[in-house]
């Protein structure tokens, strides 16, 4: 497992992931276009959850290529990549149980968001996250949950509308789990640390 993580620090791997995540981020904002069009301006920044998570990671990759660490962006990236990656996988599995089938778009979302969650965790040994970086990322993440489930700005999954309260409860605890995982992997003093080569 360690050799896989060390391979991630190679510049060609970082550059390849930068291209993939940049294209994925652009497509993600495009995918949200109709919901963004219908969103009041004051909530716009909080609506496109997954593409914003991958945008954070784009900046992390840029920093790595410059041989730098931007701890706050790293904290925002790992927490939101894991949270929204897992969230989208679970939502699309729930869609399957509701409809009995999944279309190509749903399968693509499961694959791409599963990869999002995984890449956020795989790069954990390279992050330089302090407790105050994680504190700010936690406020952002939990505040986003309030915007989504109190003010109704959650991503559109119309087939799951009758389960919004349960989804909101699940999402809150997924946020807590994402914050906890980030603390264990990135903030604790005894963690394993690697440098970009």
Q: 106-128: b or e for each residue (b if 16 or more CB lie within 10 Å)?
A: beebbebbeebbebbbebbbbbe
| 72 lies in some domain | yes
Give tens-digit pLDDT for 115-131. 999 999 999 999 999 99
| 194 lies in some domain | no
| 129 lies in some domain | yes
Residue 6: pLDDT above 80?
no
Give tens-digit pLDDT for 175-191. 999 999 999 999 986 66
| 197 lies in some domain | no
| 93 lies in some domain | yes
Residue 80: pLDDT above 90?
yes
Closest alpha carbon to 80 in 105, 60, 110, 102: 60
* pTM exceeding 0.75: yes
pLDDT at position 9, please? 84
Number of separate domains in the chain: 1
Show the tokens assigned to 36.
């963004």
| 30 lies in some domain | yes
What does pLDDT average to over the chain? 91
Domain assignment of residue 179, given as a range: 2-187
Give me the DSSP letters along 78-128.
Answer: HHHHHHHHHHHHHHHHHHHHHHS---HHHHHHHHHHHHHHHHHHHTGGG--
Closest alpha carbon to 153 in 164, 163, 169: 164
| 192 lies in some domain | no
Q: d(Cα 66, Cα 84) in Å, to the nearest integer?
A: 27
């Amino acid at each position: 497992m360690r050799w896989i993580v060390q391979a991630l620090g190679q510049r060609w791997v970082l550059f390849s992931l930068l291209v993939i995540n940049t294209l994925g981020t652009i497509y993600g904002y495009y995918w949200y276009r109709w919901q963004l069009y219908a969103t009041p301006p004051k909530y716009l920044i909080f609506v496109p959850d997954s593409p914003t998570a991958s945008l954070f990671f784009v900046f992390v990759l840029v920093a790595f290529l410059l041989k730098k660490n931007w701890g706050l962006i790293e904290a925002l990236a790992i927490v939101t990549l894991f949270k929204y990656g897992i969230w989208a996988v679970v939502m699309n599995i729930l869609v399957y149980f509701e409809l009995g089938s999944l279309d190509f778009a749903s399968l693509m979302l499961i694959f791409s968001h599963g990869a999002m969650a995984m890449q956020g965790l795989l790069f954990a040994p390279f992050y330089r996250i302090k407790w105050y970086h994680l504190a700010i990322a936690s406020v952002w993440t939990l505040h986003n949950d309030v915007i989504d489930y109190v003010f109704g700005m959650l991503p559109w999954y119309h087939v799951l509308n009758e389960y919004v309260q349960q989804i909101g409860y699940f999402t809150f605890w997924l946020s807590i789990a994402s914050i906890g995982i980030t603390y264990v992997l990135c903030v604790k003093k005894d963690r394993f640390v690697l440098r970009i080569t």
